[in-house]
Structure formats: structure tokens, C-alpha cells
Structure 1
Amino acid sequence: MNKSLQLKPSLSAEEINTWLARLKSDQPEIRARNAAAEIGISEGELLAAKVGQEVTRLSDDPEKILREIADLDEVMALTRNEHCVHERMGIYENPSFFQHGSMKTGLFVNPDIDLRLFMSHWAYGFAVAEPSKLGIRKSLQFFDKSGQAIHKIYLTNKSNEVAYDDLVAKHRHATQTTTIEIESYPPKSEEKPDSEIDWDTFRASWENLKDTHDFFPLLRKFNVDREQAFRNVGPHLALELDNSAARNVLDLAMASECEIMVFVGNRGCIQIHTGIVKKLVEHGSWYNVLDPKFNLHLNEEDIARSWVTRKPTEDGIVTAVEIFDTTGELIVTFFGKRKPGDPELELWREIVAKLPAKEVANVA
């Protein structure tokens, strides 16, 4: 962070906008996320400070809003984490939401817009109309309780702008405040010591999985961290790869025209692309897919560890390439294209077989 901008944590909307104006005068193209980091606040707080100008606060019922996004026709869906951005063009058709005790989840399952939603984290929503080189760019943006972005929906030249304006007017929050209450998430808990885990039983449970969706409950049952499990189950189930794995997957998938699935998420949303990738571009530390309907931006400098994992299902083994940051958070996950009831693509397995394992230094 710029030391000159290390401010007190409690800033008024006027102070935030003053600092933002100074930043934009020096860096006209600075993005909201980066500007917020420079100022020392969350992106959600930055947007809230502009309520009444180019930002409208939306109601506290994101499910109702999401159920109506299809009226906007084709839009661009954006989900990101600290290290990777996933952008997909499409129409938000076939929404469904579920209540599991206190947990509320949602789904969009379509060829273009394919999302897994964890609604308990959706705290704030805004409609944004920001100036750009091509005119006013309109979007809907959703944030968690810490002010971090969960999901954004941008209008395109194929969108229904009248429907967007109607939706914003309909779901306008009754109180257009310029501040939001920010609450930090607790730090990640420490791993349970390896010595306290029955690895033989855990490994046998992994080997007897029937569905990939049963994997997270398995980790929770044994109180095991994801990478901790990978380190202890054996290379037939999890093998650490060289950190060129993500780039190699994209390169090999493009060269072979293999349809892949690309998962990128955060605590509130996972966004999925399924298809062939065609245009790969390196820009600084970022490796990018720049296709007409799908863009991916991956910061390779932030990759700490890469794994290939194999999970049994009723349809056979499902192979994933999982990419992690230094804190053990998933950055991006790759699969071969697959639907329930279908076996994994053999072409995908051939790609994974070509990925080099991590070199382990010999210890004298």
C-alpha cells in the first residue's frame, strides 16, 4: 500500500471520495478494487461512498434480484478471488435456490452461465453506472460482510438496458446510505496435527467415494484441510505438480481442442466455464484466456502449489488440477468436460498425464 494513503480505518464518504479523486488524477485507469486497497478500505466501502452519485444501493434480498437477471438478456458474469478473474457472457436462465438448515444456496446451470452460490455470504448489493472510454458502463455488484466482491454482472451491447433500469428502480434500497457496516471473517483455523488423523480410514473413505460432491463432507468429517489431505493420501489419489500446471493445462487443451471446465470462486460464488479455449495471451505475470464468450485472468506469480487429484465416482475416476495460493486457498480448478452419468474424457486424462510433477530436491 502507498504509505501516503495509510489512513484511519474509519473514513467518511467525503474523505473516501477525496482520496479516490486524488488517486484517479495520478492513475486514471485504476480499478475500484485497487483504489480501495490503496486507500485502505474494502471495495464495498468504496462503492458505498459513491451512493447518490454513480451508485445505487440495492435491497437486502439478492435472491429476488438474481431471479430477474434473465430479463436483461446477455450480460457478462464476473467472479474472482485475489489471484484469478473469471468472466463469462450469457443469460441468467434457470435459477434455483435451496435452504439447508441455516444455509442457503443457489444454482444457475446453463451452457453459458454456470454458478454455485452460497447466499449466506451475500451481504450488500449495488447498481453501478461508471464512466468508461465507451460511455457509461452499467453493472450489478454484490459483496460479502467484509466488503469483498462476491459477484458482478455487467451489461453488454446485447443487454436490455431498459430492463436493467427497471430492475434497479424496483430493488432500490429504501435507505441510500453512503456507508456500510464491515465485519471481518475469522482467520483460518490451524490444521489438526497429522498424527491425530486416522489416515488409513480417511484414505479408504476417499477410495470409496461415489460422487465428487461427497469430498468436502469427507474433509469436514475427519477435520482435515484440503491440502493436508493431499499430502497424506498417496500419489495415486493426489500428486503435487510443478507450478507450470495451470499454464500447461490451458496450452495443451488449446492445442488438442479438449473441452475443459474452469472453476473460479470465492466464499460466496463459484463460476464455471465449460468449453474449448482458443486465444491465450501472456501479459506480465498474468496468463489470460481471451475468447469471445470467456475470459480468464490468472496471476501466475501468486501460485504457491499445484496438485492433480483423482476422486472415484459411480461414473469412474474424476481427475482435477487444483491450484492454490500461499494460504492454502483455491485459486482455480480444472476438469475435463463431464456430465453426471458420463465417464471422464480420455483426452483430458492424456493432458493431465503430460503435466510434470514437482521436483523434490534430494536430501543428503
Structure 2
Amino acid sequence: MDASSLAAALTPAVPFFATGKRSRDLARERGLSEAELLAEHDGPEVVRLRPEMAAIVEALPSLGEVMSLTRNEAAVHEIVGTFGEISLSGHMGLVLNPPLDLRLLLKHWHHAFAVELPDEKGPRRSLQIFDAAGEAVIKIHLRPASDVAAFETLRERFADPAPQPLAVVAYPVEELTGTADAEAFRREFAAMRDVHEFFPMLRRHGLDRRGSLDLMDEAHVRRLGQGAATALLNAASEQALPIMCFVGSRGCIQIFTGKVKTIKAMGPWINVLDPGFDLHLREDLVAEAFEVRKPSKDGDLTTVELYDSERRLIAQFYGERRRDHPEEDAWRQLTAGIAGG
């Protein structure tokens, strides 16, 4: 071994949090998942937790005010709030404690970590949950008003004393097969009374969400042009019109409801930068956008849906509405005003 090789071998490795890079980006550079990057860290900053996911969820209210972050490749959705009003049933979970509004798919919650990283402004603490492939499901970041003692208690309670090597498994590509009978699908779709009937309907017909749009008629779907998200957010801000914004990972769907105010473009990102809610959306990764009208007992409900180049849903937007009431005309007019593609 020459002198330079010896020096390199003796030089301590720079911990992931001291590289100046985001964990997601650093993991990708190293050919790892983000969960693997955390698991390989040898130090007190990262504590592997036992995957007792339901119990971990039920312990979250003790943290007080936190920032809940759910993301996919093209969108990052951040809401400040307190966990509460939690309902768990099998692998499904619901958090309805405004402004926090989450749908939890616990069958995809496989790996959990408590993370406490040094920072010149004080320690940055978070709980981070990952799916079987090692991709982030949800990250819960403590804030100045959070209960640090509750975080330490949770970390100690769930710490895995002898964690096994973390193994990640790629999710298989789902192959949907079905009748592909457009007329049968359209009839059933037109008779829909509740938007929650839509997903089971897709399964019956062997369709995914994006594939269903190819079968809808012009009365129910319209392709939108580039910049649809920017147009929607700017119009909603200018009109002070309350909206709902859904962004999901494989194991969590996070929903914001309310008015958006500060809309800023930064490079390829269009951002909502408001107190209590941030949205960061890569418009260059939006391959397709659609205005979709779903039948319900209260009349058609209009969504704007964004998809990536692999036909995966990035984000969905609704107009805010009261339960059992039609949607607001102002929302329909807003979506109708977005240029077609």
C-alpha cells in the first residue's frame, strides 16, 4: 500500500450528514436507497427502531407540533401540525387533526429510524419511515415547539437493540389485466355516486388511475398543457380560493386544505411557501396533466391530476367543498381556464 492509499484508508469517512448533500441525493450517488444510507451509519445520530408501526403512529401525538413531510420523485408536501384523531384498522390508517390530514398504508411501512443530527442552530430531530424498497414513506421533523423529551422517550421505547442487516426489495411492476371494455367502464363510471367508489372500480376493470383516463369520454377528461400546476396555483392564490392538494408516497397520502398565497418559481420548481404549508413541485417532471370530472351524488367533482413519464400520479388538486354539497362554481371556472394541451 502506497502512502496515499494508506492515508486514504486512515482518514475517517465523512458522515452522511456532514457532506452538505441531502440524504436522498447522496444515497442515489452511492447506489443505495435512503434507508440503506441511514442503516449503514455507525453513530448515535441514527437509531434503528423496531418496525412496530401502529404503535409508533399512536405515539406521535406526544411530540406536539411537528412538520410532516410526504414526497415522491416530483413533489414534496410539508404541513405543520400535531398528530391526533388517529384511526387504525389493519394495514390502513387515518389522521384527521387539521391541518394534518393523512391516509396511511401501513403495509408499506417497513423500516423506521429516529434521527438526531448536529446543526449550528441546534440538533435536527426526525422520525423517518421507509418502504420495502428503502424509499421514504413519511418524515416527521421536530420543530422548536416540539416535545424533545417525548422524542427521546419514543426513541428509547422503540430502539432495536440488535437490528438485523437492512435488506431492501424492489417492488415488482404491477401488471394489470382486465376486460379493457371501454363501454362497460364508462357505464359504471357514469353511475358512480361517491368518488371513493373509483379505486375499487379500477381494480374490477384491471386498470390503473392513468389508464382509466384513456377510456373516459370528453365529457369527463381534458388534457391540459404545460405549466398547468403553475397556472392553477397562481389562479387559486389570486382568487383566494381554497383548494385541496394531495401528494402521496407508496405508504402515505398527505392532504392540504386551504388557501395558498405565496407562489414562487425557482428553476424547474414551482413552490408554495406559506406559513404551515410548503409545496415543492418539479414541473419539468410533469409529463401529463388532466382536468378530470368524476360523477357523484352531489354532481361532478373536478380534479386536476399530474402524471410523470412513467404514468405515475404526482399530485392531485380539488376545490375545497363542504361534505354533501356541490363543488364551488369558482373552482370549476378556475380549472376550465387552464389552457388545454
1:196-238: CA deviation from partner (whole Å, max 9, x where unpaired): 5221111011111111111111111111232222122111111
Partner of 2:270: 287
Partner of 1:8: none
Partner of 1:9: none
Partner of 1:217: 200
- TM-superposed CA distance for 1:64, in Å, is 0.5
Give SS of 2:143's match: strand
Give SS of 1:296's match: strand
Kept after mapping to 1: 8 A contact 2:70/2:247: yes
Of the three residues 33, 47, 51, the one matched with 2:24 is 33
38 and 159 in structure 1: CA distance in 2 versus 1, 3 angstrom threshold: same
1:119-173: CA deviation from partner (whole Å, max 9, x where unpaired): 0010000000112342210000000011000000000011111111111111112
Partner of 1:261: 244
92 and 24 in structure 1: CA distance in 2 versus 1, 3 angstrom threshold: closer
Alignment of 1:116-195 (within 5 A): 116-177=103-164, 179-189=165-175
Partner of 2:4: none
* Worse-superposed segment, 333-342 or 303-312: 333-342
1: CA distance, partners of 2:67 / 2:42: 23
| Unaligned runs of at least 5 residues, structure 2 | 1-8
Kept after mapping to 1: 8 A contact 2:195/2:295: yes
41 and 341 in structure 1: CA distance in 2 versus 1, 3 angstrom threshold: same
243 and 189 in structure 1: CA distance in 2 versus 1, 3 angstrom threshold: farther
Kept after mapping to 1: 8 A contact 2:115/2:127: yes
Please tell me the residue identity of whatever aligns with 2:153: D
Give SS of 2:250's match: coil
Partner of 1:11: none
Partner of 1:109: 96
2: CA distance, partners of 1:133 / 1:331: 34
| Unaligned runs of at least 5 residues, structure 1 | 1-13, 359-364
1:42-88: CA deviation from partner (whole Å, max 9, x where unpaired): 00000111254310011111111111111111000000001110000
Of the three residues 216, 221, 238, the one matched with 2:221 is 238
Partner of 1:92: 83
Query: Are 2:41 and 1:55 aligned?
Result: no
Runs of 4+ in 1 over 6 A off after TM superposition: none
Please tell me the residue identity of whatever aligns with 2:31: G
2: CA distance, partners of 1:267 / 1:37: 18
Number of residues of Structure 1 aligned to a counterpart in Structure 2: 331
1: CA distance, partners of 2:131 / 2:327: 35
2: CA distance, partners of 1:87 / 1:276: 15
Kept after mapping to 2: 8 A contact 1:191/1:225: no
Kept after mapping to 2: 8 A contact 1:51/1:176: no
Kept after mapping to 1: 8 A contact 2:185/2:215: no
Of the three residues 288, 298, 311, the one matched with 1:305 is 288
1:230-287: CA deviation from partner (whole Å, max 9, x where unpaired): 1221111111111211111100000000000000001100000000011111111111
Partner of 1:327: 310
Q: Give the structure-2-normalised TM-score.
A: 0.93
Q: Give the structure-1-normalised TM-score.
A: 0.87
Kept after mapping to 1: 8 A contact 2:220/2:292: yes
Kept after mapping to 2: 8 A contact 1:145/1:182: yes
